[in-house]
Structure 1
Amino acid sequence: MPGIPSFHAMAAMLVTVAMFIGFARSRLSTEIVSLLVIAVIAVGLYFFPLPGTGPTDGLVLAFSGFGHYALITICALMIMGRGLVVTGALEPAARVLERVWKVNHQLGLLVSLLLAFGLSMIVNDTPVLVLLLPIFVSLAARGAMPASKTLIPLNAAVLIGGMATTIGTSTNLLVVSIARDLGMPPMNVFHFTPIVFAAALVAIPYLWLVMPKLLPDNSQEVIQSKRRFITRLRVPAGSDLVGKHLNEVLERLPDDFRFEERPSGPFEAGQRLRVSGTHDGLQEALRVLKGQVAPGWVVDRIRRDSSAQGEDVRVAEMVITADSRLIRRTLATSGIADLYGVAILGIHKPDRLLNTQPADPRGDIRLAEGDVLLVMGLPDALEDFARTDSLLMLQGAQVMPRRSKALLSTVIMFLSVGSASIGFLPIAIAALGGAILMFITGCVKFDKVGRALSAKVIVLVAASIAIGRAILESGAADWLGQSMAAGLQYLPPAAILAAIMLFVTTLTNFASNATAATVGTPIAFSIANQLGLPQEPLILAVLFGCNLCYATPIAYQTNMLIMAEGDYSFGDYLRTGVPLVVLMVATLSGLLVLTYGM
């Protein structure tokens, strides 16, 4: 039996338990708990240094997370993901998945989980999630399941898939290489894939049918229904619409768009038809119909000015006040485009019927107090228009995707992901290189990078790295391993495998995968020799345990990547992850016993 743990080991375990309780109770924010953990480690090791170290060495350990490659990698990956979003590069993939989700939300989720599982078998977990994350956020905005109900199941599917091959995660390679150094024969890429496939048959139904029900809907509450804007659809010469009938395009149009006027025959060049829809509906319909809702010359002018000034084009909603000169005018007589260089995309008339408005000889809509205009332009032009014509600009202006850079951002992302996946570059270097290219090429603006990063995730990563190092360097991990080994001799093989897996899982959820692998693999090898058991299943128990990192956001970097997008709390991971850990431990232990005849 191991002796009493050292003072530093006991302190490290107490701090870890306190951090866990602080996260689980949610009385303090994640950022505050994380900063408190870092502060306790820094102050504690300053006054009570680890053996063989000085006071300042403890400070280095406590704050090492802020300069750790894992944190830098996560930030770089978030920046690249932001680049795909703001350039609209993921819209085609989102539309394909959206068609599946439109058939049935449950079918869409199942297809998505299987896609994530399959990709992560051959591509590192983190790049797979980085590619899928913005797509699912976009799908949530388009009316699919809320992001908070899909991202944790998606992440779990990625982690399970990554467990299926030796190249699925860097941790798998680490365990296999340590085992080979200890004298075990090498394992090929698909050596244990059938075991994981069998476990996935049990886990995927839980991810698909149960996990979303355990998660909250963290999407922002919509106080009122989305505004519908009335506008004129212009059919330009050369449009794909020319010569087609309405019935030929209706099935391709979004649900939140409709024709208020139906053409009597096929579409003709120069035709103007009254349509209505939400902002998103109008955008999607214009893409499908290749039409316009504002004069082409002003839209082209806005885009030229945007390119020349390096400013993003924005779309804002503005309310006409009682003092505005626009009241009782039409868009044609207002001169807005000439005066301000902005384009009016649509008009929303709350609580009014169109046929109660004064008629205009040309059939145009007359503006009235309280109408909401959907306006596109550069920031300065929008502010000038609102100030001069007495309009109230509503909050939440949207940045128009810079689609001219969509292909470029996609190439950068795939070069970065691909070079990391085949092992040409470490993931940290590949991600940093991709982020730098996103900046240099203008896919992501320097002044907008703050939107891509989450302070909560940054502080949480730093705290988790610090606590992981404290557990390892204080000797707490070694003491726990020796204590566990002393009692395993009395258990049946399945229980021994489950105990090893749970031990490594605990380490990986509160320290790191690398810590769990480096500590757990030699312990499992030693236990196998002492108890006369085959070495391979016990080593695989360590490998599987390192990948069962579902129960806390600090367990793996992909858990942290989804935390901000899903607006998750620590309790969300516990509530959904602990049952999955128990399910996977029981299933994998049984499968290992059957496979190796133990």
Structure 2
Amino acid sequence: MPGLPSYHALAAMVVTIAMFIAFARGRMAVEIISLLTIAVIAVGLYFFPLPGDAPTQGLQLAFSGFGHYALITICALMIMGRGLVVTGALDPAARLLERVFKFNGQIGLLLSLCAALLLSMAVNDTPVLVLLLPIFVQLAARGGLPASKTLIPLNAAVLIGGMATTIGTSTNILVVSIARDLGMRSLSVFHFTPIVMVAALVALPYLWLVAPRMLGDNTVAQIHVKRRFHTRLRVTEGSTLNGRELAEIIPRLPNEIEFHEPPLGLLKPQQRLAMSGPHDALEEAIRFLRGEAAPGWVLDRIRQQSQDSSSDVMVVEMTVTGDSRLINRTLPTSGIADLYGVAVIGIHRPERLLGGQDQYSAGGDLRIAEGDVLLVMGAPEDLEAFARGDSLLQLEGARELPRRSKAVLAGVIMLGTVGLASVGLLPIAISALAGAILMFVTGCVKFDRVGRALSAKVIVLVAASIAVGRIIDDSGAADWLGHLMAYGLQYLSPAAVLAVIMLFVTLLTNFASNATAATVGTPIAFSIAQRLGLPPEPLVLAVLFGCNLCYATPIAYQTNMLIMAEGSYEFKDYIRTGVPLVLIMVAVLSITLVMTYHL
């Protein structure tokens, strides 16, 4: 029977449990709990340092998370994800998934989960999620399933796939290496894949049908009804509409787009179509149709100016005030493009002002009235000059148009980063940092926009989790728990021994780290096998599987933290969906191990 733990180990366990309870209750912000945890560790170790340590070494331990390679990696991956979004590099993949989800949302989610699971068997978990995360965020923005309902199941599928091969995660390699050093035979890449696939067949229905229903829609609610902007789109020679009937194109456009008095027959160049829709849907429709909602020369001028100055093209909503010179003018007669070099691509008119033929000119163009909202595209300085010169009020919600000229470059950088990490030429931390630097150097991400890519909540949470993991390991708490577990297992059946080992390692990996769980759990499993006269391989595999069952907390693995900000998740979301999944996986994996090894 092991003796009592040291007061450092006891304190480490108390701090960990207190942090978990605070996260689970959700009464305080994640950032506050994380900072308090770091502060408690720092102050405690300063006045009561670990044996052989100076007080300042405790401070280094508490704040080491802010300079840890895991945090740097996560930040670099966030920056690269931002680069893919702002360049529009993921639009084709998002549109493809959107069509699948529009056909059937459940089938789309199932195919996505299966693809994520299979891909992560050969490629490290983190790069796989980095590739998929922005696509699903884009999909949610396009009206697909909310990101909060898909990202946790998707992340879990990636983690299950990574568990299936010895090269799926760095933790798998670590466990197998330690076990080989202890005298166990080497395991091939797909040695235990059938066991994991059996568990995956049981877990996938849960991830597909149950978990999304346990997660709320965390999408930020719109505070007002979306404005509908009216425009007249001109058919060009290269337009998707040229030589085709409008009816065959409409199903491929966003659902919110509406055509007014649509023409019959085949469309020809220079024809103009009256259409309306919300801001984002209108932009998507114009891009797909390849028509012109403003004079072609001014659109070309704006794009050229953006390339020459390396500045973003902005789309801004502006309200027409009572003293504007634009009142009673139409867009063709306003001279906006000539005077300011900006393009008005749509006009929103409040419903109370709609109606009456005098609103339209003889050519069918809408006359601008007080209270109208103009959707204006151009360079930031030109937009400001337009608003100032014609007495317009800029509204909130300005958007940057994707820098599509950089889309291929951003995609190549991301694929190169993932490829180098996947084949083991570079650690994920180094390849991610190199990718983020390239995103900056090539202009895919602007230096002054980095704050939009990073999440303060995730950064502080990562730092706190690293500090907790270190104190659990350095204080001897993990080692004491392992010896306590080994003492009690001699009275249990082989199936129960496997389940307890797996649950113990799962507990470590969800509150400390995968590396800690692997380094502590593998020798303990090997020792227990010798004491109980059991073959070491199934017990070592129980450790390996437990290291990968990191679904129950956001601090368990870096991919859990990557999805936290994008899905607007709270700590309890991971507990609510992760604990049942852990229990399912432990039960199925334990039974399958017993049957496979005839225990």
Structure 1 length as normaliser, TM-score? 0.98
Cα distance in structure 1, aligned partners of 2:375 and 2:287: 17
Counterparts in 2 of 1:51-200, with a 5 A limit?
51-200=51-200
Partner of 2:435: 434
Cα distance in structure 2, aligned partners of 1:30 and 1:240: 49
Cα distance in structure 2, aligned partners of 1:206 and 1:331: 55
Structure 1 window deviating more from structure 2 (30-39 vs 232-241): it is 232-241
Partner of 2:570: 569
Structure 1 window deviating more from structure 2 (226-235 vs 78-87): it is 226-235
Partner of 1:37: 37
Partner of 1:5: 5
CA positional deviation for 1:350: 1.6
CA positional deviation for 1:336: 1.1
Cα distance in structure 2, aligned partners of 1:585 and 1:304: 59
Cα distance in structure 1, aligned partners of 2:464 and 2:556: 12
Cα distance in structure 2, aligned partners of 1:227 and 1:79: 31
Cα distance in structure 2, aligned partners of 1:354 and 1:130: 50
Query: For 2:359, what is the secondary structure of its paired residue?
Result: coil
Residue-by-residue CA offset, 1:525-581 (whole Å, 9 max, x unaligned): 000000001111100000000000000000000000000011111111111111111
Cα distance in structure 1, aligned partners of 2:138 and 2:238: 31
CA positional deviation for 1:356: 4.6
Partner of 1:298: 298
Cα distance in structure 2, aligned partners of 1:361 and 1:112: 52
Partner of 1:312: 312
Query: For 1:552, what is the secondary structure of its paired residue?
Result: coil
Structure 1 window deviating more from structure 2 (87-96 vs 286-295): it is 286-295
Query: For 2:241, what is the secondary structure of its paired residue?
Result: coil
Is 1:251 aligned with 2:246? Answer: no
Is 1:412 aligned with 2:413? Answer: yes
Partner of 1:19: 19
Is 1:556 aligned with 2:537? Answer: no
Structure 2 length as normaliser, TM-score? 0.98
Partner of 2:447: 446
Cα distance in structure 2, aligned partners of 1:367 and 1:77: 46
Contact 2:235 2:270 in 1 (8 A): yes
CA positional deviation for 1:355: 4.4
Q: How many aligned positions are there?
A: 598
Query: For 1:416, what is the secondary structure of its paired residue?
Result: helix
Cα distance in structure 1, aligned partners of 2:247 and 2:456: 50
Cα distance in structure 1, aligned partners of 2:358 and 2:531: 89
CA positional deviation for 1:393: 1.5
CA positional deviation for 1:383: 2.0
Query: For 1:315, what is the secondary structure of its paired residue?
Result: strand
Partner of 1:585: 586
Partner of 2:342: 342
Partner of 2:508: 507
Residue-by-residue CA offset, 1:160-194 (whole Å, 9 max, x unaligned): 11111111111001101111111111111111111
Cα distance in structure 1, aligned partners of 2:119 and 2:225: 38
Query: For 2:363, what is the secondary structure of its paired residue?
Result: coil
Query: For 1:27, what is the secondary structure of its paired residue?
Result: coil
Cα distance in structure 1, aligned partners of 2:267 and 2:281: 20
Cα distance in structure 1, aligned partners of 2:360 and 2:56: 79
Residue-by-residue CA offset, 1:55-114 (whole Å, 9 max, x unaligned): 111111111111100000000000001000000000000111111100111111111111
CA positional deviation for 1:244: 1.9
Cα distance in structure 1, aligned partners of 2:358 and 2:587: 69
Partner of 1:205: 205
Whichever residue aligns with residue 248 of structure 1, its letter is: E
Is 1:261 aligned with 2:281? Answer: no
Partner of 1:516: 517
Cα distance in structure 2, aligned partners of 1:242 and 1:253: 16
Residue-by-residue CA offset, 1:316-355 (whole Å, 9 max, x unaligned): 1112122222111111111111122111111111214354
CA positional deviation for 1:283: 2.2
CA positional deviation for 1:583: 1.0
Residue-by-residue CA offset, 1:428-485 (whole Å, 9 max, x unaligned): 0000000000000000000001100000000100110011010000000000000000
Cα distance in structure 1, aligned partners of 2:244 and 2:357: 33
Partner of 1:531: 532
Residue-by-residue CA offset, 1:197-233 (whole Å, 9 max, x unaligned): 1101110111111111111111011233322211111
Whichever residue aligns with residue 340 of structure 2, its letter is: Y
Structure 1 window deviating more from structure 2 (225-234 vs 255-264): it is 255-264
Structure 1 window deviating more from structure 2 (391-400 vs 93-102): it is 391-400
Counterparts in 2 of 1:464-479, with a 5 A limit?
464-479=465-480
Cα distance in structure 1, aligned partners of 2:170 and 2:407: 30
Structure 1 window deviating more from structure 2 (225-234 vs 76-85): it is 225-234
**Measured at CA, do residues 359 and 87 of structure 1 come closer, stay the same or move farther in structure 2, by a change above 3 Å?**
closer
Query: For 1:188, what is the secondary structure of its paired residue?
Result: coil
**Measured at CA, do residues 264 and 355 of structure 1 come closer, stay the same or move farther in structure 2, by a change above 3 Å?**
farther
Query: For 1:89, what is the secondary structure of its paired residue?
Result: coil
Query: For 1:249, what is the secondary structure of its paired residue?
Result: helix
Partner of 1:425: 426
Give the superposed CA RMSD: 1.2
Cα distance in structure 1, aligned partners of 2:474 and 2:562: 27
Whichever residue aligns with residue 497 of structure 1, its letter is: L
Contact 2:238 2:290 in 1 (8 A): no
Structure 1 regions of 5+ residues with no counterpart? Answer: none
Cα distance in structure 2, aligned partners of 1:358 and 1:575: 56
Contact 2:9 2:475 in 1 (8 A): yes
Partner of 2:360: 359
Aligned-residue identity in percent: 73
Structure 2 regions of 5+ residues with no counterpart? Answer: none
